[in-house]
Copies of this chain bind each other. A is one copy, B any other.
Amino acid sequence: MARIVMKFGGTSVADLDRIRNVANIVQREVRAGNEVAVVVSAMAGTTNQLVGWCQQLSPLHDQAEYDAVVATGEQVTTGLLAIALQVIGQKARSWAGWQVPIRTDSSHGRARIDTIDGAAMLAAMQSGEIPVVAGFQGIGPDGRITTLGRGGSDTSAVALAAALKADRCDIYTDVDGVYTTDPRIVAKARKLERIAYEEMLELASVGAKVLQTRSVELAMKERVRVQVLSSFADRPGTLVVDEDEIVEKEAVAGIAYSRDEAKLTIRRVPDRPGVAAAVFVPLSAQNINVDMIVQNLAADGTTDMTFTVGRADLPRAQAAISALHDEIGFAEVLVDSDVAKISIVGVGMRSHAGIAGTMFRVLAEKGINIQVISTSEIKISVLIAAEYTELAVRALHSAYGLDAN
Given contacts A57-B16, A93-B64, contact A72 B82 (CB under 8 A): no
The CA of A69 and the CA of B93, in the complex, are separated in Å by: 12
The CA of A167 and the CA of B237, in the complex, are separated in Å by: 62
Contact stretch, chosen from A83-91, A168-176, A330-338: A83-91
Given contacts A66-B79, A79-B66, contact A84 B72 (CB under 8 A): no
A99 within 8 A of B: yes
Chain B residues within an 8 Å CB radius of A94: 65, 68
Contact stretch, chosen from A48-56, A204-212, A262-270, A286-294: A48-56
Interface residues of A in 65-119 (CB under 8 A from B): 65-69, 71-72, 75-76, 78-80, 82-84, 86-87, 93-94, 96, 98-99
Contact check, A76 vs B50: say whether CB atoms are below 8 A apart: yes
Residue among A58, A68, A72, A80 with most chain B CB within 10 A: A68
A143 within 8 A of B: yes
In this complex, what residue of B is CB-closest to A58? B87
A222 within 8 A of B: no
The CA of A19 and the CA of B54, in the complex, are separated in Å by: 12
Given contacts A68-B94, A78-B68, contact A53 B16 (CB under 8 A): yes
Chain B residues within an 8 Å CB radius of A87: 57-58
The CA of A71 and the CA of B80, in the complex, are separated in Å by: 13
A366 within 8 A of B: no
A387 within 8 A of B: no
Partner of A80, one of B16, B57, B143: B57
Number of copies: 2
A62 within 8 A of B: yes
Contact check, A84 vs B57: say whether CB atoms are below 8 A apart: yes
Contact check, A86 vs B58: say whether CB atoms are below 8 A apart: yes
Contact check, A72 vs B76: say whether CB atoms are below 8 A apart: yes
Q: Is the interface of A mostly helix, strand, loop or mixed?
A: helix
- Shortest Cβ distance from A92 into chain B, in angstroms? 8
A352 within 8 A of B: no
A350 within 8 A of B: no
A31-58 CB mask vs B (1 if < 8 Å, else 0) is: 0000000000000000000100110111
- Shortest Cβ distance from A365 into chain B, in angstroms? 58
Contact check, B143 vs A99: say whether CB atoms are below 8 A apart: yes
Contact check, B65 vs A82: say whether CB atoms are below 8 A apart: yes
Contact check, A56 vs B16: say whether CB atoms are below 8 A apart: yes
Given contacts A69-B79, A76-B50, contact A144 B99 (CB under 8 A): yes
Chain B residues within an 8 Å CB radius of A98: 98
A150 within 8 A of B: no
**22 sample A-B contacts, Cβ–Cβ < 8 Å, listed by A number:** A16-B53, A16-B57, A53-B76, A58-B84, A58-B86, A58-B87, A62-B83, A62-B93, A64-B93, A65-B79, A65-B80, A65-B82, A65-B83, A65-B86, A65-B93, A67-B79, A68-B78, A69-B75, A69-B80, A71-B75, A72-B75, A99-B144
Q: 5 closest Cβ contacts across the A-B interface? A: A69-B79, A72-B72, A68-B79, A65-B79, A57-B83
